[in-house]
Structure 1
Amino acid sequence: MVQLLCSNKVYEKLKQELSKYSIEIKQDSDWVLVEKGYDLPSDKLSIVFDAIDYMDVIKLLVSGIRADIHFTNTLTGLSENKFAVMEPRDVLYLEAGSEGIMAYTKGSRYSIKETLHYYENIWAAKGFIRINKSQLVNLLHVKEIIPWFNSRYVLRMDNNTELEVSKMFSKKLRNTLNI
């Protein structure tokens, strides 16, 4: 639950994004998101943000305030007309493709809802990292990191699947793993 003090345009954007994470907007909340230029309430915890950076506020709320919520600790996927509930540690990688978003485990693949961006935000602290525009990898399941040409890498997963890290995401991988 959070209160918003911002322009109408930013309010609508924040309202839409917060609803994706089931974060309610209430005037009597102890937390207030305040757009730069608006007066800070003296009796509440406030987070001041630039209107252009409103998504950073969402990331902060999702990774911090909402970190203990159950839905960030599980994933529901559909495979062979059956639903399965999984923990993030069981997922090797997520992939966006023509069939939608798929979660791959050692034994199966599951169709899931939401977007890669959603899981990238809420699971970053659980060891997931974007490796290209269509894949998010659980670093706990990377068996080998193979240097590839043109400043790229190939990741060999626990199930021997090989995933290519694009040049654009190679720097983030190097920084994350100190290589």
Structure 2
Amino acid sequence: MKLKVKIISSKDNYIKYKKQLESAGFIISDDADIVFKEVDMVQDTFIGLLEDQYEVIHYSKILYFEAFGHDIFLRTIDKEYKIKEKLYEIETILYEKNFIRINKSQIINKYGIKTIIPSFNSRINLVMKNDDILYVTRVYSSRFKEFIGFK
């Protein structure tokens, strides 16, 4: 059985890595569970599908990511895009870039928050800049508080 691998690298190195991995027996695929990421690769955009067209979305425009079943969506102030990346890949890509997971199915941009409202049972309600209301669950609340600077 051949393993599927997704490559995240600069355009210049992508072909080189693809040839090396394919010659080693790997299958290159965007829906792979294994990600090969170039160490010094700086990615600052995602590619999103909106009404049969792909658009490039810069990190600064992203409010949050949300999973519905196997589909992952990226939300901006006024649009919702379908993207190929999985939540765990997004978490890896955006590590230390002002994004944090707030529950099992959502990752938010710290700068996309409009209002933070403490709730009962260690939960936190977030009103995003597009007025969507998201919930930080108890499991993620202490990490979120530390991330936001409450602790």
Q: Into which bin does the TM-score normalised by the smaller protein fall?
A: 0.7 to 0.9
- How many residue pairs get aligned? The number is 129
Question: Which stretches in structure 2 are left out of the alignment for 5+ residues?
Answer: 10-16, 21-33
Provide the identity percentage: 35
Q: Which has the higher helix share?
A: 1
The 5 Å alignment of 1:63-74 reads 65-68=39-42, 72-74=43-45
RMSD over aligned CA atoms reads 2.6
Question: Which stretches in structure 1 are left out of the alignment for 5+ residues?
Answer: 1-15, 27-57
1:35-57 Cα offsets, whole Å, 9 max, x none, are xxxxxxxxxxxxxxxxxxxxxxx
- Structure 1 CA distance, aligned partners of 2:7 and 2:109? 22
Letter in 1 for 2:40: R
Measured at CA, do residues 22 and 141 of structure 1 come closer, stay the same or move farther in structure 2, by a change above 3 Å?
Answer: closer
| Relative contact order higher in (CA < 8 Å, ≥ 6 apart) | 2
The 5 Å alignment of 1:47-62 reads 62=37
- Structure 2 CA distance, aligned partners of 1:147 and 1:125? 24
Which of the two has higher C-alpha Rg?
1
Match of 1:32 in 2: none
Given the two structures, how large is their TM-score scaled by the length of structure 2? 0.75
SS in 2 for 1:89: helix
Given the two structures, how large is their TM-score scaled by the length of structure 1? 0.64
Match of 1:20 in 2: 6
Q: CA deviation at 1:144?
A: 1.1
Q: Which has the higher strand share?
A: 2
Match of 1:138 among 100, 109, 121: 109
